Structure 1
Amino acid sequence: MEDVITEAAPPSRLLEEDLNNFTPSSPPLPSPFLLFPHTQQQQQPLKPTLLIIAISSPSLSLFHNLLTPQTLTSSLILPELPLSYPNNTINIHSLSSTILLAAVQNPIPDNRAYAVAEILLSNQICPDSVIILDSIQPMNHRGLLSSDEAVAFKLESFAERKKANEEKLLGGLDYYPSGSVVDGLGAAILGRCQILKIRASLCVTWPQFDSDVVLLLKDLLRGLGEFEFGFSDDEVFKFGRSKDHVFQSHLYI
């Protein structure tokens, strides 16, 4: 005779997706919003020639010394995060009269990526062109990645791809290898630019935490403006590094 206590329960007669019908759906999350300093209220909408969105740790460390309270233009707030949470906002700074920088200092959940992209590219911020600086996720890359070599690739919106090589936002970069993918906030912003027919280039780099990548980005962005970049090797590791991150020397995906 079977032991009703220790025997595994029989399989449910309902499919797993049917079981979800008996649980109440979660209430929708409130939409992110922009908060402007009182001195900036009369300057909406913002219409920069270029909007740079720094997501990767090397890109954040590259611009770190340029992000001061005096250059702060607005902040994107995620309402579900407590105000006491460190770096819970995406701060938007003015690098010059024509260039804005959005510093994404904390990872954005995938289910919130497009909502954030809609706010960054809305009737409040209307850039002529966009550069997104993100990292390569090893599980999304098809090919060999070495920790000893800094690499960078790009993806472009259709409006940017139509431009001649000398007019490209990020000239000289190879396209992301076929079969590799990008997800998360970087992909959501590029998709939003595609819908709005905005010139956009997404640059993804590897390794995720490396001073050589910072130097690579510095050379890549040198022609955009006379910025006084400054960083140390230690600063590269301060931004976006998860506690459970494990360095991998060679990855075949």
Structure 2
Amino acid sequence: MDDVITDIPPPSRFLLEDLNNFTPSPPPLPSPFLVFSSADSKKSFSPSLFIIAMSSPSLHFLHHLSSKTLTGTLVLPEIPFSGNTIEPSLQDKSCNIYTLNDTDKSIMIALVQFPVTSERSHSVAKLLVGEKIIPQRVLILDSVQSRNFRGRLSPDETIAFKLETLLERKDSDALIKGLDYFPSGSVIDGLAAALLSRCQLKNIKATLGVSWPDLGVPVMKLIRSILVKDVLTGVNYSTEGDYEVEYLQLSRRKGRTDSELYT
């Protein structure tokens, strides 16, 4: 007679993966899309340079460029509009696309102010580059993630690196000069990686610049220096207000609530 206490119990009638069959799969998310003014809705754009900003210092500096015109918006359906202001604000969860008003160069700017999950990165990258907007050159600005960096990052150290597509690296006139390449063994992921891969696939000259830390006036000055000296050379631009003071205040506020950023 079997010992019901010590004998191995019979297998369950259902495997764990079988139990998931009884749970309805969530409906697929709607695709992201671009919205332009009625005058530009059927128009394609071919800027000489397309700057896509995601890091805090690059967003803050480019937002305060006064010589820009709102051209369109990228809509990610899972990001609610509630809480956004009527006029573009750094507090909004949005992705506005601007044209920099300059007579000599055609420059577009995208300010990505909401998080994009890994699952959505490629669809967003495809939408931004190579369909409605076909740029000659792309600059992506993001922050270094400490979890992906091989080595120790000190919050008191301000650094920046770059990665380039093959076509950009072959160009003797590099868009960003004086930056080391991102160290081997470190990783770039998310939307920044998807955008760089998209540019490589479409044979577009592209540079990804990443900086550390994401907060503080020193990193703001570093990003501003890179943009002014290398990227916006010869472009007439102006900034609104004292953005460095604003950024210092923002860094202090976020530093108190996001201190784990530097751990």
Deviation at 1:18, TM superposition (A): 4.8
Distance 1:89 1:113 in 2: 15
Q: 1:58–1:236: 8 Å Cα contact kept in structure 2?
A: no
Is residue 174 of structure 2 the alignment partner of residue 168 of structure 1?
yes
Q: 1:67–1:93: 8 Å Cα contact kept in structure 2?
A: no
Deviation at 1:85, TM superposition (A): 4.5
Distance 1:236 1:183 in 2: 28
Equivalent residue for 1:106?
Answer: 114
Aligned length: 240
Deviation at 1:227, TM superposition (A): 2.7
TM-score (norm 1): 0.83
Equivalent residue for 2:101?
Answer: 96
Which of 147, 158, 162 in structure 1 is aligned with 2:155?
147
Equivalent residue for 1:7?
Answer: none
CA deviation vs aligned residue, 1:147-175 (integer Å, no higher than 9, x gap): 112100011111111112xx111111100
The code of the aligned residue for 2:244 comes to: S
Q: Give the direction of change, closer, same or farther, for the CA distance of 1:180–1:33 in structure 2 (3 Å limit).
A: same
Name the SS for the 1:62 alignment partner: helix
The code of the aligned residue for 2:243 comes to: F
The code of the aligned residue for 1:174 comes to: D
TM-score (norm 2): 0.80
Q: 1:209–1:237: 8 Å Cα contact kept in structure 2?
A: no
Which of 233, 238, 253 in structure 2 is aligned with 1:228?
238
In structure 1, the gaps of 5 or more residues are 3-9
Q: How does 1:175-186 map to 2 (within 5 A)?
A: 175-186=181-192
Equivalent residue for 2:89?
Answer: none
Q: 2:48–2:137: 8 Å Cα contact kept in structure 1?
A: yes
Deviation at 1:238, TM superposition (A): 4.5
In structure 2, the gaps of 5 or more residues are 5-9, 85-91
Deviation at 1:80, TM superposition (A): 2.3
Q: More deviation in 81-90 or 216-225?
A: 81-90
Identity score, percent:
46
Q: How does 1:73-84 map to 2 (within 5 A)?
A: 73-84=71-82
Q: Give the direction of change, closer, same or farther, for the CA distance of 1:28–1:247 in structure 2 (3 Å limit).
A: closer
Deviation at 1:137, TM superposition (A): 0.6
Which of the pair has more CA radius of gyration? 2
Q: Give the direction of change, closer, same or farther, for the CA distance of 1:200–1:17 in structure 2 (3 Å limit).
A: farther
Q: What is the root-mean-square deviation in Å for CA atoms of aligned residues? A: 3.0
Q: 2:140–2:209: 8 Å Cα contact kept in structure 1?
A: yes
Equivalent residue for 1:199?
Answer: 205
Distance 2:219 2:139 in 1: 16
The code of the aligned residue for 1:34 comes to: L
Equivalent residue for 1:54?
Answer: 53
